[in-house]
Structure 1
């Protein structure tokens, strides 16, 4: 009997809580939602917005991220911009150094080109002088007697003698070779033939 009394007491307390507290509370919430919706208030957005500021609730509500302080974001952006600026300044410095190195190389090459041009001009003048000297020698040997020319040429070094023989006319060359010893004439003829083949 006592058990039945306890059960009926628990049921009556549960019924009292259900009818007096829970049902009126749910009804009041429903009426408030309807009234706010009719008034044009989006209740769920408002709940998300207020829920953001409550520490435990903000982690439960999906899609709500904690607000990032605008000043902190600006600081982060400023730090990123300063890092980018430093990188770009470093790249500019590297490029300036590279330009200076290339300019130094260009200057060195220009100096070398000028030096080579001067050497080339000097060689051209030397060749002109040598050509002039050969022409002068040719005139001397052309006017000299063939006997004297043959005697002098055999006393010269082979290269010098060949240079002179090459500048002579065919008639003078054959006359001078005829006045030489046969061995000398054969040697110069062979050397002239070799140089002509080259």
Structure 2
């Protein structure tokens, strides 16, 4: 038994001795040599990693790995640039479309303002009366004449102009229009204005019925 134990101890010591020999004779000197080489090359101004990359690129496997990585990165950048360019073009088209719509709306508003001003001037002149006598061959516009003008006007424009008048003027014109035209104009008004003129027209109709 003692001989077996002694044999095991000797075998263990031999294994430990071999490991220590490998560590002190090979590993430590190798690490020291590598560290010393890095220090010397750094002092000499040589970038060891760049050199390793340069020579490693000549090796088939490493050069292929580096090339694939660069190609993949370039492809991703190219795809991102194309996607951003497409997004910019889409947004630019949307902006141009909105600008065109705003311009058209502004033109329509300006035209309506001019029409409202013209009609208000005509109505004001009619209310105040002319200080000079009109020529004998000149016929003053009647309510029916104005109503005919509103018959040819779009309901939307008429709905914008009529609320600018006095209640009596508006009722006179609406009363002279056909029922379909009046309905179309009231439909384009705000709910408050539509209710107001409906009540005024009803009151006017009742008053005419009692006469």
Structure-1-length-normalised TM-score: 0.47
- Quick check: which has more Rg, 1 or 2? 1
Structure-2-length-normalised TM-score: 0.44
